[in-house]
Chain A
Amino acid sequence: MKGLEELKDKIHEILPDLDLVIGWEQGYDGLHATPLFIKTPEDVDRLIIGPLCVHNLATYLPGLKDKKVGVIVKGCDSRAVIELLQEKLINKDNVVILGLTCDGVINLTKLGRKIGSLGAVDDVKVEGEKLNVVIGDQQHNIAFSEVKQDKCENCIYPNALVFDHFIGEPVDRVENVGAEHQSLSDFEGKSFDQRFAFWKHEMSRCIRCHACRNACPMCVCRDHCVAMTRNPHWLSQENNVAENWMFQMIHVMHLTGRCVECGECERACPMDIPLMLLRRQMNRGVREVFDYEAGIDAQNRPPLLTFKVEEDNISEREW
C-alpha cells in the first residue's frame, strides 16, 4: 500500500463535510493495526497503511447508515462496498470511498507458524519482498509471500474497484492466477469421509463467539440473526459439533452469491477454523450455476436477489 501522505491530505480535505473517516492506526504492539475512527484533523496523524491493515472496514458501514462516512478500502474491501451498494444496504450518498492499491496483507496465523509465539513482537517492517520481524534483540527475515493472507495469493483485484478518490497509481492486474485458491482443490481431493471428519474436528473447536459473523461485511442481520432465535428454534444453546456445524452452514448459505471472499470470517476466528474453505466452495457453485462473482459491479443484481424463469445453467425441464 502506498500513498500515506496523499491519503492524509485527501482526508484533511474531505473531513469537514463528513462525520468520520474509517482507517487504521497502530494497535497495542508492533504486529497489530486496529481500526481508526477519524473525527478531527489531529486524528489523521495516527493513520497508517500497510500489510498490517488487515481489517475490512466496510464491515462498519451498515452500522453507520445515518452518518456521512469516509472509508478507506483495499481492492478486496472495495468488493464488499460494492456488494453492500448492490443490496441497497448502504446509501452511496452518505459514503465517500478512498481507494487504495494493495500488495497483500499479513496472515498472523501463518506468521505465528514461522516464528512460534506472536506474543513478543516489537516491530514488523516490509522491506521489498522480505518481512523483518523484530523480537527483542532477535530479527527474523521472512519472505512476505509466505505469510500473506490466502486471499492475497490469488488476488486479481489489487486496486479498489469502486472509489471516489483513488490514492496512488493503480497497479497492473496480476496475471496467471486462478480464480480458485489451491486449498479448495486440495480439500476436494480427499474422500467424503475424510472431509466430514475434518469438519467435525474443526467444529469441535468452535466456541460460537460469532466473530466470523460480526466481522463479515455481508452479515448485516447482526442483532437479529436467525441463529439466535428461540422461535423458530434452529439452534440450541448447546455448544457441540452438530450445533456449531449447523451455525456455520446457516452462515455460509446466507452468503450465497454475496460473499466477496474478503476472508474476515477466518481472520476473526479466535480458534483459527479455516472457514474460507466453505466460502470458496460456495462461491465455486455460484460461479458454475450463475456465472456470477459478488461485489464486482454495483449495477449488477446478485443472483439470489432476482428471478429468471429459465436460468441459463439450470436445466430444470430435463430433470
Chain B
Amino acid sequence: MSQQKFLASQSIGSFLETLLREHRVLVPLCEGDSVVFRPFRKGGGLELTRMPTTSPKEATFPRVETLMSFTQKVSAPQEEDGGKERPEIELTEHLPQDSTVVFGSRPCGAKGKTIFSRVYDTEAVKDPYFIARRDNTLFISIACSAPETTCFCTSVGGGPADSTGSDILLIPVTDGFMAEAVTEAGAKLMESAFFDAGTQKAEEAQAVVERAETKLGQAQDFSNAREKLLKLFDNESFWEEMSAKCISCGTCTYLCPTCYCFNITDETAGNTGKRVRTWDNCMDYLFTLEASTHNPRSSKAKRLKNRVGHKFSYYPSLHEEHIACCGCGRCIKSCPAAVDIRQIVKSAQEYEDVNI
C-alpha cells in the first residue's frame, strides 16, 4: 500500500473544481429524497453521508448510449445503374471520448464494473464502448463507515474498505479523509496539492474500518450456493414460493451496480435514426420473449430464479468462483416488496437439509 495522504473536507470542492478542467466529474447529490450521481458543478453540493440510491454504474455503462447514428440518403441518378437512384446509408459511430472521475462512490459501487469487465473484455469478445469508458474513468471511493441493515459486502468477497475497482480509496476521519492510491492513475491525481502528506491519521482510519467491519457482523457463507442453486433449477415450487411477493419490476436490476444486461434498438424518425443501447431488465416478461412468441421465462418465478442463479451460480462457475454481486443491498433496500436476495440464497442453501 502506498503512502496515505490527507484530504481535508473543506478542500473537496476546490479539488473537484480542478478536476473539471480535464474530466467530467460525477458526484452523489440529493435530488428530492433520493441520492443520485450527477455531474459536479462549481459551488454545487455533495451528499457523502447517505448511501446513494442509484449506483455509479452509469459512469462506465450508461443507461442509454448511442452506438451509432444513421441517415438514409438517395444518390443522384447513376449512369452505370441505368439512370436509377441508389440508396445510401450514412453511418456515424459514437465511441465515447469523455474522461470521467467518479467521486464519492462507496467501495461496493466502484467494484461493480469489475464484474462486467470479465464479460465485456475477454480474449474472444471486446466491447469497445465499455472498454473506452472503463479505461477513461477513475473512481475515488469513500470507505463505508456506516453499513446498513441491507449491506452484505463481506459475504460476497468485499468489505467496507475494499479497494477493488477504485483508483483512490478515501477513509473518513476527523475533518477529512485519509487517501490511499490504489492505481497509478489514482497516485497521479493524489499529486494535487490538496492531498497533504504531512497529516497522518492512519490509526483513526484503521479504527473506522474496523468499526464498520464489526458492524457488518458475521459474513454469510455463500460458497456452496453455486451447486445448491443449480440443484434447484427444476424445482418450480421452490421458486414460486421465493418469488410470491416479487412484483416483477426492475428496481433491483436498475439500481444494481453489477447487472450488465442490455437491449439494442434502432430508434428512427423519418430517414434518420440511431442505434441505442439501453439497460435491460431480466425481471421483465419481454427480456426473453422470442419472435415466435415462445417465452422461456414466462413467469416471475422463472425470472427471479434466473436473476439469483446468474449472480450466485452461473456467473461464479464461469468466472473463477466470483459472485456477480457486490453486496450493496440496493435490491433489498429499494424493493417495493422487501424481497431479500440473501434470504433466497440462504433458503436454497438450506433446502436439501430438510427435504432429503
B50, B265, B332, B337: the one contacting A117 at CB < 8 Å is: B50
The answer to whether B267 touches A211 (Cβ under 8 A) is no
- If A32-B338, A237-B276 touch, whether A268 touches B249 (CB-CB below 8 Å) is yes
- 1/0 contact string of A183-201 vs chain B (CB within 8 Å): 0000000000000000001
Q: Taking the nearest CB of chain B, how far is it from the CB of A84, in angstroms?
A: 16
Q: Taking the nearest CB of chain B, how far is it from the CB of A257, in angstroms?
A: 23
Q: Taking the nearest CB of chain A, how far is it from the CB of B176, in angstroms?
A: 21
**Is residue B23 within 8 Å, beta carbon to beta carbon, of the partner chain?**
no
The answer to whether B244 touches A35 (Cβ under 8 A) is yes
For chain B, residues 1 to 53, give those with C-beta under 8 angstroms from any C-beta of chain A. Answer: 31-34, 36, 49-51, 53
The answer to whether B64 touches A237 (Cβ under 8 A) is yes
Interface segment among B119-127, B145-153, B162-170: the answer is B145-153
B150, B249, B254: the one contacting A119 at CB < 8 Å is: B150
Q: Which A residues touch B53, using CB under 8 A?
A: 270-272
Interface centre among A36, A239, A240 (most CB of B within 10 A): A239
- If A37-B241, A117-B148 touch, whether A211 touches B336 (CB-CB below 8 Å) is yes
Interface centre among A208, A209, A222 (most CB of B within 10 A): A209
- If A117-B146, A228-B286 touch, whether A27 touches B278 (CB-CB below 8 Å) is no
The answer to whether A270 touches B251 (Cβ under 8 A) is yes
Q: Which A residues touch B196, using CB under 8 A?
A: none
For chain A, residues 6 to 42, give those with C-beta under 8 angstroms from any C-beta of chain B. Answer: 27-29, 31-37
- 1/0 contact string of B291-309 vs chain A (CB within 8 Å): 0000000000000000000
The answer to whether B32 touches A223 (Cβ under 8 A) is no
Q: How far is the CA of A151 from the CA of B291 in the complex (A)?
A: 43
The answer to whether A237 touches B263 (Cβ under 8 A) is yes
The answer to whether B63 touches A210 (Cβ under 8 A) is no
The answer to whether A238 touches B278 (Cβ under 8 A) is yes
Q: Which B residues touch A222, using CB under 8 A?
A: 248, 285
The answer to whether B146 touches A215 (Cβ under 8 A) is no
**Is residue A120 within 8 Å, beta carbon to beta carbon, of the partner chain?**
yes
Q: How far is the CA of A29 from the CA of B284 in the complex (A)?
A: 27
**Is residue B311 within 8 Å, beta carbon to beta carbon, of the partner chain?**
no
Q: Which B residues touch A271, using CB under 8 A?
A: 32, 34, 36, 53-54
- 1/0 contact string of A68-81 vs chain B (CB within 8 Å): 00000000000000
The answer to whether A119 touches B241 (Cβ under 8 A) is no
- If A238-B267, A270-B334 touch, whether A209 touches B245 (CB-CB below 8 Å) is no
The answer to whether A214 touches B267 (Cβ under 8 A) is no
**Is residue B281 within 8 Å, beta carbon to beta carbon, of the partner chain?**
yes
- If A34-B245, A119-B51, A237-B263 touch, whether A205 touches B33 (CB-CB below 8 Å) is no
Interface centre among A210, A213, A267, A273 (most CB of B within 10 A): A210
- 1/0 contact string of A217-241 vs chain B (CB within 8 Å): 0000011100010100000111110
Q: Which B residues touch A239, using CB under 8 A?
A: 63-64, 278-279
- 1/0 contact string of B130-147 vs chain A (CB within 8 Å): 000000000000000011
User: What number of B residues sit within 8 Å (CB to CB) of A?
Assistant: 49
- If A211-B250, A237-B263, A270-B334 touch, whether A119 touches B149 (CB-CB below 8 Å) is yes
- If A55-B337, A237-B265 touch, whether A205 touches B249 (CB-CB below 8 Å) is no
**Is residue A283 within 8 Å, beta carbon to beta carbon, of the partner chain?**
no
Q: How far is the CA of A117 from the CA of B247 in the complex (A)?
A: 25
**Is residue B340 within 8 Å, beta carbon to beta carbon, of the partner chain?**
yes
For chain B, residues 212 to 253, give those with C-beta under 8 angstroms from any C-beta of chain A. Answer: 241, 244-245, 247-251, 253
Q: Taking the nearest CB of chain B, how far is it from the CB of A223, in angstroms?
A: 4
The answer to whether B265 touches A209 (Cβ under 8 A) is no
Q: Which A residues touch B34, using CB under 8 A?
A: 205, 270-272
The answer to whether B254 touches A34 (Cβ under 8 A) is no
Interface centre among B64, B149, B333 (most CB of A within 10 A): B149
**Is residue A170 within 8 Å, beta carbon to beta carbon, of the partner chain?**
no
**Is residue B59 within 8 Å, beta carbon to beta carbon, of the partner chain?**
no
The answer to whether B336 touches A113 (Cβ under 8 A) is no
Q: Which 8 A-B pairs have the closest CB atoms?
A: A119-B148, A268-B336, A223-B285, A209-B250, A34-B338, A270-B334, A29-B149, A272-B33
Q: Which chain A residues have a beta carbon within 8 Å of chain B's beta carbons?
A: 27-29, 31-37, 55, 59-60, 109, 112-113, 116-121, 201-202, 205, 207-211, 213-215, 222-224, 228, 230, 236-240, 264, 267-268, 270-274
27 contacts between A and B (CB under 8 A): A28-B343, A29-B150, A55-B337, A112-B33, A117-B50, A117-B146, A119-B146, A119-B333, A201-B31, A209-B255, A210-B250, A211-B247, A211-B251, A214-B248, A214-B249, A214-B336, A215-B247, A223-B285, A237-B267, A237-B276, A239-B64, A239-B279, A264-B336, A268-B249, A270-B251, A270-B334, A271-B54
Besides A34-B245, A223-B285, 10 more A-B contacts (Cβ < 8 Å) are A28-B338, A34-B338, A112-B33, A119-B148, A120-B146, A205-B34, A209-B250, A209-B254, A211-B336, A228-B286
Q: Which chain B residues have a beta carbon within 8 Å of chain A's beta carbons?
A: 31-34, 36, 49-51, 53-54, 63-64, 146-151, 241, 244-245, 247-251, 253-255, 263, 265, 267, 276, 278-279, 281, 284-286, 332-334, 336-340, 342-343
